[in-house]
Structure 1
Amino acid sequence: MDSILVTGNGPLNGQIPIAGAKNACLTLMPATLLSEEPLTLTNAPRLSDIKTMTALLQSLGAEVSSLQDGQVIAMSSHDLTSQTADYEIVRKMRASNLVLGPLLARFGEAVVSLPGGCAIGARPMDLHVEGLEALGAEIELEDGYLHAKAPGGLKGAVHEMRFASVGATENIVMAATLAKGTTVLKNAAREPEIVDLVECLRKMGAQISGEGTSTIEIQGVDRLHGATHQVVTDRIELGTYMLAPAICGGEVELLGGRMSLVESFAEKLDAAGVDVVQTKDGLKVARKNGRVRSVDVVTEPFPGFPTDLQAQMMALMCTAEGTSVLEERIFENRFMHAPELVRMGANIEVHGGTATVTGVESLKGAPVMATDLRASVSLILAGMAAEGETTVSRVYHLDRGYEHVVRKLEGVGAKIERIKGQ
């Protein structure tokens, strides 16, 4: 099993190109199931999760081709052979559940395994089920599979979600595009990935308004057609690499970055003593003077502080001046990186959904183990600022969400290498 070796090497300088968004691309790919005509995505990230979604769509009979070194994905669902998403594929990645709404809308039936994908809490499907049932679906759970039917087709409805779930919003919006009548989805998630999905669906002929707000209205149409769509910039990769010069010092420009994608995160960096400036090509980030200051963080749905940047922010707070409190309100079990950071000399106390971090002068390199996707990159960031060598094992998590991480960090002066497993 591969590992990553990181050695503290001082300030970083240069540019890092930011890829297309993993979470957006994984949502856009199932949209091909809504139409017989081709859907082509550009600016696609080259990640193992994208390969998993490709395998899932192909198992349903869709044609999926990776072009231009993986940055273009060409898909066609004109001749699907199955409406069953099998456990052996779905268990690898939670986003697999996003085939449920499109299959149900187009074919009136779908059988989808309950998903897996990571170890950061239960992340149940109840909000997806409630929304689709509001559109007239009949859904039963049998032997770990959701069996969904809509014998008379889906019908528009007014539905208010109990929680602004991103995945449930995406599934319900896709399903509603082919429902009869108008659907009004209240307490909808507002993430940029949802805005990106709606822009793509609109290119396919969907009639949708209100994306980016808490109320989305969808007027169902009889059919959708093909389209070409560019995947939005990955705001989580962007935020992650914004932290590299914040932790190590120096100045790094993140190419393709937009302030609108990371405003709440940038505000926290500013409060900690890190400059973030919009340039014509992206975002330029530099630590102002000396140690960063501690700041408190509460994870919230967009436009609040992203849960997917909490682990990385904790790494920054480990060497900040003062004490910070990080409260996780989105997922349980999302502080599993804390004990690994403690192995490196961090002072962290975890009580339920709250972590208290008292900054230390410096971290020490140590062997550590990644527990999930974002935890893996937080340990790399910590290793870049630590004295000596840090070996991060179980980095297969990393491959799910970051393309060419070693190359990108090496390019700005980090001392980092991937060690091939036996």
Structure 2
Amino acid sequence: MLVSDSQSKAPHYLITGGTPLHGDVVLSGAKNAVTKMVITSLLTTNPCTLRNVPLLGDLDLTIKLCQELGAQVHLDDHTLSICTEQITNTTISRKVGGLNRLCVMTIGPLLHRTGEASIPMPGGDRIGPRPIDFHIQGLRQMGAHIVEEDGYYHCTAPQGLRGTTIRLPFPSVMATENLLLSASLAKGVTIIENAATEPEIVDLVKLLQKMGAIIEFKVDRRLVVEGVKSLHGASHTLLSDRNEAVSLAIAAYLTRGDIYLRRAQQDTLLTFLNTLSKMKLRFEVDDEGIRFIGDGSVPPPISLETDVHPGFMTDWQQPFTILLTQANGISVVHETIYEDRFGYTSALNEMGAHIGLFPKCLGEIPCRFREKQHMHSCVVRGPTPLHGIRLDIPDIRAGCSYILAALCAEGTSEVYGIEHIERGYEHLDGKLRSLGAQIEKIDATVEVLGS
């Protein structure tokens, strides 16, 4: 049989836009919390149980990573049980560890339990460089000896990790989480200055406290960790995914729909909700969730800047930019967290959007990319009707923005690279279908030319 590679079809979504979305959706647990919590379980020999676990690709990868180190894992619906009585391996393979940056989180637990760890240099989404320098520098300050060789970081701690004062050059979320894990069992007191304080970090601290850790939030982004001799098992229910909440909320406005998000948590979405209010977009909060009402009115333009928590989250920037293509006037978005997160906008322009990118800081927040010629500001002119095209997803958040654009576009879009979506969202296509979206998943097919 002869097979034409050009006619092979990768899995993709067919999305026909223009249908208002209506109904209720239950939000999944937070993607940005579950992976770190699974790795946190490595700090103890006792079982840990996580509830409201989102079923997604990143979780599968993290489970494989922990199993490679000796963990026993059981997943029943949305409840995960994990126990690592013994660390059976201290080297993480490139096959598992090279796909994202999560393996750097295992260094602290492995050093505490075995005194050594080897991890491959990590990969991740294509949204600009995401180095682990802050992690390595902090661990070295705590007494880790780290050598880079043959694409691996080889780590030892002959005297164990010890408490110290670490000032992060930037409030990195994962670096803060990594140092929290490492400091929990370190000798003495660790002070993390300029720490990130995102809701997912607060949730991680809740789990660590249940396990016996002593962690305090101080003023001016300081976290103080008193090291303890050992941690025990614990049970914890994850907070809801605020990125999924924002994506589905924007879908309501783009399609002139009405969506109720059960388990949406107001306290994790305050800045997003304030931005909606500034644009005169309707929402209603109650004890069970939040309702987002797209009444068909054209919102005014806005200027916004991404920032560390409690600022406007960088992961909200991409879906919100889709919304701005439908606002009446000139909107400005200044990205201060990642230097290369507007690459997805070229595809939006092909759909009919008017988006221009600029290296200047079009905002007021002090920006580490000033005068560095990174295209980290964009200007959006709306409203512009969008039309369906073929879209190739480069990363998780850009991928979700493509889906949102396709939902409000005229005609049908083919969306490829859906593995990024399935890595970061739990059954997003199914949830959208339940709201009335015309979205079909096409599995890989191959056309046979002859035999």
In the superposition, the TM-score normalised over structure 1's length comes to 0.97
Equivalent AA in structure 1 for residue 419 of structure 2: Y
Tell me the CA shift for residue 23 of structure 1: 0.8
Q: Kindly indicate whether residue 144 of structure 2 is the aligned counterpart of residue 121 of structure 1.
A: no
The equivalent of 2:190 in structure 1 is: 183
Quote the residue 1:253 is aligned against.
Answer: 260
Compute the displacement of 1:216 (Å): 0.9
2:382 counterpart residue number: 359
Shift in Å, 1:250: 2.1
User: Which residues in structure 2 correspond to 1:13-24 (within 5 Å)?
Assistant: 13-24=22-33
Tell me the SS of whatever aligns to 2:310.
Answer: coil
Of 413, 418, 421, the residue aligned with 2:436 is 413
Cα displacement string for residues 160-196 of structure 1 (whole angstroms, at most 9, x for unaligned residues): 1111000100110100111111111111100111111
Shift of 1:262: 1.2
Tell me which residue corresponds to 2:426: 403
Displacement after TM superposition at 1:213 (Å) = 6.6
- Computed over aligned residues only, the root mean square deviation of the Cα atoms, in angstroms, reads 1.4
Letter in 1 for 2:82: M
| Aligned 8 A contact 2:253 2:296 in 1 | no
| Structure 2 unaligned regions, length at least 5 | 1-9, 359-374, 446-451
1:229 counterpart SS class:
strand
Q: Measure how far apart 1:14 and its partner are.
A: 1.0
Contact 1:20 1:231 in 2 (8 A): yes
CA deviation string 1:288-338 (max 9, x = no partner): 552122212211111111111111111111121111111111112211210
| Residue correspondence of structure 1 range 158-197 to structure 2 within 5 A | 158-197=165-204
Find the counterpart in structure 2 of residue 368 from structure 1.
391
Give the alignment of 1:314-329 within 5 angstroms: 314-329=321-336
Aligned match of 1:236: 243
Matches within 5 A, 1:56-75: 56-67=65-76, 69=77, 71-75=78-82
Deviation of the 1:105 alpha carbon = 2.6
Residue 5 (1) aligns with residue 14 (2): yes
After superposition, give the CA deviation of every residue in 1:354-413 in whole Å (9 maximum; x if it has no partner).
111111341111111111111111011111111111111111110011111121111222
3-state SS of the aligned residue for 1:141? strand
Deviation at 1:211, TM superposition (A): 7.6
- Take 1:293 and 1:87, find their aligned partners in 2: how far apart are those partners? 48
Larger radius of gyration: 2
In the alignment, which residue of structure 2 is the partner of 1:105? 112
Q: Determine the C-alpha separation between the residues in 2 that align with 1:146 and 1:117.
A: 17
Structure 1 residue 212, shift from structure 2 partner: 9.5
Asked if 1:311 corresponds to 2:318, the answer is: yes
Contact persistence 1:192–1:212 (CA under 8 A): no
Give 2:234's aligned residue: 227
Assess if the C-alpha contact under 8 Å between 1:247 and 1:316 holds in 2: yes
Aligned residues: 420
Q: Does 1:144 align with 2:151?
A: yes
Whole-angstrom CA distance in 1 between matches of 2:405 and 2:125: 22
Question: Who is 1:25 aligned against?
Answer: 34
SS in 1 for 2:25: strand
Alignment partner of 2:415 out of 382, 392, 414: 392
How far, CA to CA, are the matches of 1:95 and 1:237 in structure 2? 21
Is contact 1:273–1:289 with CA below 8 Å preserved after alignment? no
Q: Is the 8 A contact 2:70 2:84 kept in 1?
A: yes
Amino acid of the residue matched to residue 411 of structure 2? G
Deviations 1:19-55 (A, max 9, x none): 0001100110111110111111110000011000111
Greater than 3 Å deviation, 4+ residue runs:
none
State the identity as a percent.
38
Structure 1 CA distance for aligned equivalents of residues 102 and 45 of structure 2: 22
Confirm or deny: 8 A CA contact 1:5 1:418 kept in the other structure. yes
Counterpart amino acid of 2:390? P
Structure 1 match to 2:355 = 348
Moved more, 7-16 or 40-49: 7-16
Residue 280 (structure 2) aligned to one of 263, 273, 287: 273
- C-alpha displacement at 1:108, in angstroms? 2.1
User: Could you tell me which residue of structure 1 aligns to residue 368 of structure 2?
Assistant: none
CA distance in 2, matches of 1:212, 1:23: 24
* Structure 1 residue ranges without an equivalent (≥5): none
Match among 68, 89, 104 for residue 96 of structure 2: 89
| Superposition TM-score, scaled by structure 2 size | 0.91
Structure 1 distance, partners of 2:220, 2:113, is 26
1:335 counterpart residue number: 342
1:223-274 per-position Cα deviation (integer Å, ceiling 9, x unaligned): 1111111111111111111111111112211110011111111111222221
Residues 293, 47 of structure 1: CA spacing in aligned structure 2 closer, same or farther, 3 A cutoff?
same
CA contact (8 A) 2:252 2:259 kept: yes
